[in-house]
Structure 1
Amino acid sequence: MMGKTWIAAAICAAAIFSVFPESRAQQAPASPSVDAPELAALGSYGIGVADLEFIDKGRADPLQGADVPRVADRHISVKLWYPAAAKGGGTRYRTGLPGETGSDVPFEVPGLATPGAAMAKGRFPLVILAHGYSNTPEVLSWLGENLASKGYVVLAPAFRDPPITIRTPAARAGPLTSRPLDIAFVAAEAQRRAKAGEGLLAAADGARTALIGYSMGGYGVLTAAGAPLDPGLGGATRGVLAPFVAGGPKADTLKVADVKAVVAISPASNLYGTPLWAAPGVAAIRAPTLFIVGSQDHVVGYETGVRRLFDQEVHAPRYLLTFREAAHSIALIGAPPAMRESFWDFDWFEDAVWRKDRLMAVQAHFITAFLDRNVKGEAAKSSYLDGLVPNSNDGKWPNAPTGRYAGFSPGAPASTIWKGFQPSRVSGMNFEFRPGEP
């Protein structure tokens, strides 16, 4: 009897061990871990999700046409996350990213959002969420769902990047064109529908708009916030962007109206030697901006890339959150099981040093504080952003409980450990602020 019991227990333990890594990876990415900072927690609303299509009529496409770019309607699929009246059963997103062989690797992402859920009552700020090169909205679902639960209407366009390497000039023309043009069009159309009271966007408040972008999406939102495009992008996009570059007749149409805040996560500022903005560059931006980056980001650069943007945006109040030793893939979900079979696929998602759920949680915390303060006008959230010691390791909490204390730092004056962080979970980061000049 004892032998049979032991064998059964061993088989059960082995089964749990064999499936645990996959089941853990398949948890909804928007579910914060137990060591997440305070403001990473989900909000009080349920989460709804819907798929929309926006059509930009008669746009030139630099990837189509032999002698000149072909003009056709641009169909833009948009993922919409919104505050729901009640919590539902969730969903599973189906998407895919290019794998090592060049073909897309399909996978599923568990979601907390419920398709078709009833919209919560109220008017909610509008957020445009722009993904990176060859990404999809679903790999940013952790942030879209998190913000929707806190009372934001989040629109994430699918940019349909070409299935070829970005290292070729032909491939670069696609994202260089789609990011600013799609973001400007989707934002303007969403604001129009909100003002007209159309569909689910009737609950959005276009007068309170925020822009969030990762990597190539970061280039897009900084452009949409006011950074003027470099004239060289006209030639790099077969003339498609020529009317929109600095000094062009349509340059002003790229700037999104009523932007109250910008979040740029690992934003691109120079693409294989091609500068993206003309003078004054990001110094033209006036909206408060939160930059987020890893100090070992060799894709967009740290000292010569994102930190330089932080230094140059002199006319806007701005913050810089640095994950020390992290690389470029800080904004995507953790690698799904289908993308864990080869290093190339795995490297899309995972960082060499940081846990992915930790990266997402810290970003959700600071993005929440930043948007709540600057878009919703919640002055109390300033204490999560202002007056923090620049190096997270330097914080002290003299009277903090000892041991594995799970409580959050109350911030100044009792503690210089970053407000909202657990005492043992505040290492390896920097947070800096600079006010805007006149």
Structure 2
Amino acid sequence: MTFKKYICIALSGIAASVCLTQINTAFAIDNRIDQIRPDAPELAAYGRYPVGVTTLQVSNPGQLDILNAKPGEPVPRYSRPLTLEIWYPAVAADHSPSATTFRTFLRDGKTEVTLTGKAVRDAAAEKNAGAFPLVIVSHGYPGNRFLLSHLTENLASKGYVVVAIDHTDSTFHEFKNFSSTLLNRSPDQLFVLNQMALLNEQDKTGKLTGIIDAGNTALIGYSMGGYGVLNSVGAGVSAKSVSAPTVPNGALQSRAANDPQYLASIDKRIKAAVAFAPWGWNAGLWDTQALAAIKTPLFYIAGSADDVSGYSPGVRNLFESSINTGRYLLTFENANHSAGAPIPAPKESWQAVPTLKRIPAESYIDAVWDNTRMNNISQHFVTAFLGKYLKHDDSMDAFLTLTENAKDGKWSTDESGNKKPDHTYWKGFPARTAVGLKLEYLPAATSQKTK
């Protein structure tokens, strides 16, 4: 960390705000996905592993081709292509930033941008530490496989193989009818899980052979990716949504709560799930009975001002209705739909484009919270949650068992900086940095907020 950055944090008031803005602007010049602010919570920091990254093309045969369905006729089938980006623990000399870049598109689907991270393209994988837990990441509608890359790369450095999906028909570059997203989001996630299990055994390049523990998997999804996550771990969609015309010919029945095909798809290899702003409650996709079928530990993340997925009603209802699993809800007070999930807005996204009514940056930013700040908080809590449920690290409990409202925590230290017995501030957060956050927990078989 440079001396200038430490000086910025030492300042107060307007001066500190200006200094931090200058730091963030400097990062944005390179569209970096690896930003860790000096005031980030403890577990946001990159882990001990260098990171490799590779791209993989896969195809899921025999899928319903809903975009070419005709009323009253059987839905045709096709091989559904998916592009995957895989981050993994690697062998390298150090963690210094590399020249690795990622080419992708903004919300208009035409403007190309370059993102920069720490990962080294096609680096040799770390094969002396056994197999690593698998994490599958699913973007929103629309989005792309790099939308949560601040999190994917960060988790790989901590000993996970992380695969992010470009969901066909649902990316910024290939944005098609919503029916495809509703039908395919969860099947895409489950197919990728199977593909990664096969890759662990049959990687033709040999790069990832033996390092993927698909039997110990977590799903992470944002918005429609969060919808897919809930559907993948046991929340079948409602009968009302199946009969709606959004997905023609009743094709959504294959993801419905009472459908044998759907019930057979629930995969016990999925041990934990993170849902950023999951969509669907306010659109009637879920009911309490379906949500009660979830048995997988859940970590919900939401903004209290979310006007896309909703908060209350909305994500809070999902949290309270997932009664048969232990679950958390992290709330960013006054944040909207982008709470914690998207990378910082690429510098090119601040320019108006003729095909959009709004600047592309609005697909990333929040009016109240800084993106990098939210990203670091998400990195911290997702690290703790996955550490607890995938790595069975009991030390992570201390980062998850907190005073519910961060503002109620007390910072109490002696002259030497040692914490006193009455210290209740959120573990891992520097003094005065947990403001605006709330973390709730409900154990299994609890449907209402406990006081």
2:405 counterpart of 1:391: yes
List per-residue Cα deviations over 1:322-359 (Å, max 9, x = no partner): 00011011210111111101343121111101111100
Q: Quick one: which of 346, 354, 358 aligns to 2:369? A: 354
Q: Quick one: which of 221, 241, 247 aligns to 1:237? A: 247
User: How far apart, CA to CA, are the structure 2 residues paired with 1:303 and 1:201?
Assistant: 45
Give the corresponding residue for 2:10.
none
1:45-84 aligned at under 5 Å gives the runs 45-66=49-70, 68=73, 69-84=75-90
Shift, 1:234, TM fit: 3.9
2:158 counterpart of 1:147: no
8 A Cα contact 1:51 1:80, kept in partner: yes
The AA in structure 2 aligned to 1:380 is: S
Q: CA RMSD in A?
A: 2.7
How many residues are matched? 407
The AA in structure 2 aligned to 1:97 is: L
8 A Cα contact 1:48 1:119, kept in partner: yes
User: How far apart, CA to CA, are the structure 1 residues paired with 2:421 and 2:111?
Assistant: 50
List per-residue Cα deviations over 1:240-286 (Å, max 9, x = no partner): 33233222241124323321111011001247x3x223552221111
Shift, 1:157, TM fit: 1.1
2:97 counterpart of 1:95: no
2:114 counterpart of 1:108: yes
Q: Indicate how the Cα distance of structure 1 residues 261 and 134 shifts in structure 2: closer, same or farther if over 3 A, else same.
A: same
Give the TM-score of the pair, scaled to structure 2: 0.84
The AA in structure 1 aligned to 2:27 is: R
Shift, 1:33, TM fit: 1.0
8 A Cα contact 2:307 2:337, kept in partner: yes
Q: Quick one: which of 251, 255, 266 aligns to 2:266? A: 255
Give the corresponding residue for 1:301.
310
Give the corresponding residue for 1:419.
427
Give the corresponding residue for 1:285.
294
SS state of the match for residue 272, structure 2? strand
1:163-242 aligned at under 5 Å gives the runs 171-194=177-200, 199=206, 200=208, 202-235=210-243, 236-238=246-248, 239-242=250-253
Larger deviation: 115-124 or 275-284? Answer: 275-284
* Identical pairs, percent: 37
The AA in structure 2 aligned to 1:38 is: E
8 A Cα contact 1:187 1:256, kept in partner: no
2:345 counterpart of 1:335: yes
Give the TM-score of the pair, scaled to structure 1: 0.86
User: How far apart, CA to CA, are the structure 1 residues paired with 2:406 and 2:213?
Assistant: 35
8 A Cα contact 2:143 2:170, kept in partner: no
8 A Cα contact 1:56 1:74, kept in partner: yes
Q: Quick one: which of 274, 279, 288 aligns to 1:268? A: 279
List per-residue Cα deviations over 1:144-192 (Å, max 9, x = no partner): 000000000011111033579x9x9x82202101211101111122224
8 A Cα contact 1:228 1:280, kept in partner: no
SS state of the match for residue 280, structure 1? helix
User: How far apart, CA to CA, are the structure 1 residues paired with 2:421 and 2:292?
Assistant: 34
Shift, 1:414, TM fit: 5.2
List per-residue Cα deviations over 1:199-239 (Å, max 9, x = no partner): 41531111211111000000001111111122344453223
User: How far apart, CA to CA, are the structure 2 residues paired with 1:22 and 1:429?
Assistant: 25
Shift, 1:70, TM fit: 3.1
Unaligned runs of 5+ in 1: 1-18
Unaligned runs of 5+ in 2: 1-21, 353-357, 447-451
Q: Quick one: which of 328, 331, 337 aligns to 1:322? A: 331
